[in-house]
Homo-oligomer: A and B are copies of this chain.
Amino acid sequence: MGRTSEARVKILSAARSLIELRGYSALGVAEICKAAGVPKGSFYYFFDSKEALALAVIDEHWTGQRSTWERVLSADTGPLDRLRRLFEETEAGQLAGQESCGSVAGCLFGNLTLEMSNQTESVRARLQEIFEAQVEMVEAVVSEALERQEVTVTDTREAARSVVAQLEGQVLFAKLYNNTRRLGTLWTNCLALLGVRTAGEVTAGA
| A→B interface (CB under 8 Å) | 21-23, 25-26, 103-106, 110-111, 113-119, 124, 127-128, 131, 158, 161-162, 164-170, 172-173, 175-178, 185, 189, 192-193, 195, 197
**Shortest Cβ distance from residue A11 to the other chain B in the assembled complex, whole angstroms:** 20
| Complex CA distance for A103 and B117, rounded to whole angstroms | 10
**A113 touches which of B103, B172, B189, B197 (Cβ 8 Å):** B172
A–B Cβ pairs within 8 angstroms, 26 of them: A22-B118, A23-B23, A23-B115, A23-B119, A25-B25, A103-B118, A104-B118, A105-B118, A110-B114, A111-B115, A114-B172, A114-B175, A117-B175, A117-B178, A118-B178, A131-B176, A162-B166, A162-B170, A165-B166, A165-B172, A165-B173, A166-B189, A168-B169, A168-B173, A169-B170, A189-B193
Q: Which residues of B contact A177 (CB under 8 A)?
A: 128
Q: How close is A104's CB to chain B, nearest CB, in angstroms?
A: 8
18 more contacts with CB within 8 A, not counting A23-B116, A165-B166, are: A21-B118, A22-B118, A25-B26, A26-B26, A103-B118, A104-B118, A110-B172, A124-B176, A161-B173, A162-B166, A162-B185, A162-B189, A165-B189, A166-B166, A166-B169, A166-B189, A168-B168, A192-B195
Residue of B nearest to A135 (CB): B173
Question: With A25-B26, A158-B185, A166-B165 as given contacts, are A114 and B117 in contact (CB-CB < 8 Å)?
Answer: no
Contacts of A167 in B (CB 8 A): 169
Q: Is the interface of A mostly helix, strand, loop or mixed?
A: helix
Q: Is the beta-carbon distance between B23 and A113 smaller than 8 angstroms?
A: no
Q: Tell me how many chains of this kind the complex includes.
A: 2
Residues of B within 8 A of A103 (CB): 118
- In the complex, the chain B residue whose C-beta lies closest to that of A184 is B158
Using Cβ atoms and an 8 Å threshold, which residues of chain B touch A114?
Answer: 106, 110-111, 114-115, 172, 175
Q: Would you list the 5 A-B pairs with minimal beta carbon distance, nearest first?
A: A165-B169, A169-B169, A25-B26, A168-B169, A103-B118
Q: List B contacts of A118 (CB < 8 A).
A: 21-22, 103-105, 175, 178
